[in-house]
Structure 1
Amino acid sequence: MAAEFGREGGGRALTTDRLRDGHRDDSALVLGTVPTLLPPAVHRLLRRQAEHARQESAISRTTPPTAWLFPGYAAGTHRPARGLT
Structure 2
Amino acid sequence: MKIWEISEYKVEVLIPQLSERIDINKINKEQIFSLMNSLFENCSNYELASEDDFNNVKDPVKREISIQINKVLCEFVSNIDEQKRYIKQKFPSL
TM-score (norm 1): 0.37
* Higher Cα radius of gyration: 2
Q: Greater helix percent: which structure?
A: 2
Q: TM-score, normalised by structure 2?
A: 0.35
Report which of the two has the higher share of strand.
1
